[in-house]
Amino acid sequence: MKMIMAVIQDKDSNRLMNALVEHNFRATKLASTGGFLKSGNTTFMIGTEDVRVQKALDIIKDNCQHRQQLVAPVSPMGGNADSYVPYPVEVEVGGATVFVLPIEHFHQF
């Protein structure tokens, strides 16, 4: 058994949980702030058998990878038309910091 602690962005949280459940992983979310990632984040605690660690890592990577995202510009509300950029801009989102820890015992009561 291993414990996977994954710090991810809040915005990837629901998608990751759904993907984990779909692949029969069980995860608990810990409320967390700051640190490894800039904005609001969530820490997933996932317990799994050794042979399934790589699959869990793949799911985290697929759903939380650091990536560029195109954001459609918002038209300025009564604003200065000079500062309005009428094309999508790229922002950086996502990312995950993942620790795999050894477990000596696992119990379910």
Contacts with Ni ion by CB under 5 A lie at 105
What is the torsion angle, in degrees rounded to the nearest 10, for the CA atoms of residue 17, residue 19, residue 24 and residue 30?
-20
Report, in Å, the least distance between residue 5 CB and its own copies. 7
Residues that bind its own copies in the complex, under the rule CB under 8 A: 1-3, 5, 7, 17, 26-36, 41, 43, 45, 47, 53, 57, 60-61, 64-66, 94-109
- Residue number with CB closer to its own copies (89 or 91): 91
> Which residues neighbour 20 within 8 Å (Cβ) at sequence distance 6 or greater?
26, 27, 44, 46, 56, 59
- Residue number with CB closer to its own copies (50 or 90): 50
